[in-house]
């Protein structure tokens, strides 16, 4: 039997599970933004929001939400001062976004002084699933919810370069060893013992394998599964391709200090060439036509939801 307190804490979960999807599209509050300066960016933003909402209406139908609320919001970071919710999409500017959230929250004076380790391992920012059900429901319905995305193949190649082409004390032993053991014929003992030197084709074989030797990772998980864009009605959809202007417009919308601008520095491996469409083409050459098609199919929903052109 549930106590009265348990029943009360369960109420927001029950309410959320009963909501029909997709949620209605709410108008974006633009009262804090200077209209003339951001007119073009604002217009693009409305088109992205309308496109995603139309997609979700078409493909979700009138379904009831069955997902556990805690899982649904586990990738969302909270900034209470400016009432911001940010869903983390790795390899789409997330490190610098976390720096900005720390500055907004009064945890740092400048985004440029925060190290990579502080951003990702410092536990300075709270995630939405750390609040009680009432706190989650309140923030979802009253805070400005943002998501920043990236062309899926570029994001995938960027993740591979970052995790497998540089020394890494986690991804090489955990993912690299398992990938080399399963997908490389006649692998040498050194490769099997270190997990270093994974080839892009081997990485794709792992990605597309329904019986992966090691699980998925947020750096190459689909955005549709990380942030659930048809279940959570995001107020703002930024894109990595227009990151600076999108981010600075968003900061205007939430009333950020005028001197705070989105940082432009590359978080790690700053001497490396940025992962561009041309860089992606070079990596995709290593794959068969079938593998390229299957990789696109893997990210098919992300391509559709965010109106990216198929490569």
Element (H, E) at 8: helix 4-17
Q: In Å, what is the CA distance from 57 to each residue of 51, 54, 94, 98, 208? A: 10, 5, 28, 31, 29
Q: In Å, what is the CA distance from 256 to each residue of 7, 219, 239? A: 38, 28, 20
Give the pLDDT confidence score for residue 36 in this predicted structure: 73
> How many other C-beta atoms are found inside a 10 Å radius of the C-beta of residue 276?
13
Q: Which residue has the tokens 């789409």?
A: 92
Q: What percent of the chain has pLDDT over 70?
A: 88
Give the pLDDT confidence score for residue 22 in this predicted structure: 61
Give the pLDDT confidence score for residue 10 in this predicted structure: 44
Q: Higher-confidence residue: 66 or 226?
A: 226
Instruction: Report the C-alpha gap between 258 and 248 in whole angstroms.
Output: 10
Following DSSP, what letter does each residue of 242-278 receive, concatenated? GHHHHHHHHHHHTT--TT-----S-SS-TTSPP--HH
Q: What is the dihedral of CA 265, 28, 48, 301, to 10 degrees?
A: 90
Instruction: Report the C-alpha gap between 257 and 244 in whole angstroms.
Output: 16
Backbone angles phi, psi at 126, to 5 degrees: -90, 145
pLDDT 10s digits, 72-88 = 899 999 999 999 999 99
Q: Which residue has the tokens 């109106």?
A: 307
C-alpha Rg value of the chain to the nearest Å: 21
What's the token pair of residue 120? 């990702």
> How many other C-beta atoms are found inside a 10 Å radius of the C-beta of residue 86?
29
Worst-scoring range by mean pLDDT, 14-18, 39-43, 97-101, 261-265?
14-18
SS3 state at 210: coil
- CB proximity list for 237: less than 8 A, separation 6 or greater: 45, 48, 49, 52, 146, 147, 148, 149, 306
pLDDT 10s digits, 103-132 = 999 988 888 888 877 887 777 899 999 999
> Is the pTM above the cut of 0.85?
yes
């Amino acid at each position: 039997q549930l106590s009265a307190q348990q029943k009360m804490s369960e109420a927001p979960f029950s309410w959320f599970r009963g909501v029909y999807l997709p949620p209605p599209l709410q108008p974006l509050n633009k009262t804090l933004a200077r209209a003339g300066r951001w007119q073009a960016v604002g217009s693009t933003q409305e088109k992205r929001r309308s496109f995603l909402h139309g997609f979700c209406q078409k493909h979700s139908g009138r379904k009831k939400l069955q997902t556990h609320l805690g899982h649904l919001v586990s990738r969302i970071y909270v900034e209470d001062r400016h009432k911001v919710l940010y869903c983390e999409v790795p390899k789409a500017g997330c490190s610098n976004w976390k720096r900005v959230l720390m500055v907004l929250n009064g945890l740092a004076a400048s985004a440029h002084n925060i190290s990579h380790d502080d951003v990702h391992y410092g536990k300075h920012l709270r995630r939405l699933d750390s609040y009680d059900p009432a706190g989650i429901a309140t923030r979802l319905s009253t805070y400005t919810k943002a998501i920043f995305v990236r062309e899926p193949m570029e994001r995938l190649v960027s993740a591979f370069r970052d995790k497998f082409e540089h020394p890494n004390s986690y991804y090489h032993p955990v993912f690299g060893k398992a990938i080399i053991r399963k997908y490389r014929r006649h692998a040498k003992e050194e490769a099997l013992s270190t997990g270093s030197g994974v080839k892009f084709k081997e990485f794709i074989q792992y990605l597309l394998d329904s019986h992966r030797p090691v699980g998925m990772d947020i750096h190459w998980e689909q955005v549709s599964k990380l942030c659930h864009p048809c279940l959570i009605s995001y107020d703002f959809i930024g894109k990595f391709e227009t990151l600076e202007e999108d981010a600075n417009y968003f900061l205007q919308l939430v009333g950020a200090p005028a001197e705070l601008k989105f940082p432009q520095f590359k978080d790690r491996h700053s001497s490396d060439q940025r992962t561009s469409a041309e860089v992606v083409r070079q990596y995709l050459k290593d794959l068969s036509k079938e593998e390229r098609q299957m990789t696109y199919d893997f990210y098919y929903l992300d391509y559709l939801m965010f109106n990216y052109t198929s490569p």
